[in-house]
Amino acid sequence: MPVLTPQQRSTLETAVKQARKIAETGAINALHGLAVDNPEPYPHMKPEQRALRNSLRNKARLLGDLLPEKGTQNIKNLAYELAYET
């Protein structure tokens, strides 16, 4: 397999950075859609969605995302896990 030229490496690096941003944005949007960051689930959510939401909130806490007494759940580490590990 031939070695990449400096221009090809630069192009690959740019593409990888862009893909990372897109993957993380998609993960955050999916987590927002399930109200993982909200203190309360959306009223229209089905029991299966609520169970998934609760398990994702637990996973976020295991990954080190803080859960303040009042306010929104931090989902930075969970979004990273979802975007890059899954």
- The pLDDT tens digits of the residues spanning 12-28 come to 999 999 999 999 999 99
Using only the alpha carbons of the chain, give its radius of gyration. Answer: 17
CA distance 84 to 20: 8
pTM of the predicted protein model = 0.82
Q: Is residue 18 part of a domain?
A: no
What pLDDT, in 10s, does the model give residues 34-78? 999 999 999 999 999 999 999 999 999 999 998 887 778 899 999
Q: What is the pLDDT of residue 53?
A: 96
Residue 63 lies in a domain: yes
Domain of residue 53: give its range.
41-86
Which pLDDT score, from 0 to 100, does residue 70 have? 79
Is residue 69 a part of any domain in this protein?
yes
15 falls within a domain: no
Give the SS3 label for residue 84: helix
Would you say residue 24 lies in a domain?
Answer: no
9 lies in a domain? no
Q: Helix, strand, or coil here: 47?
A: helix
Total domain count, the chain: 1
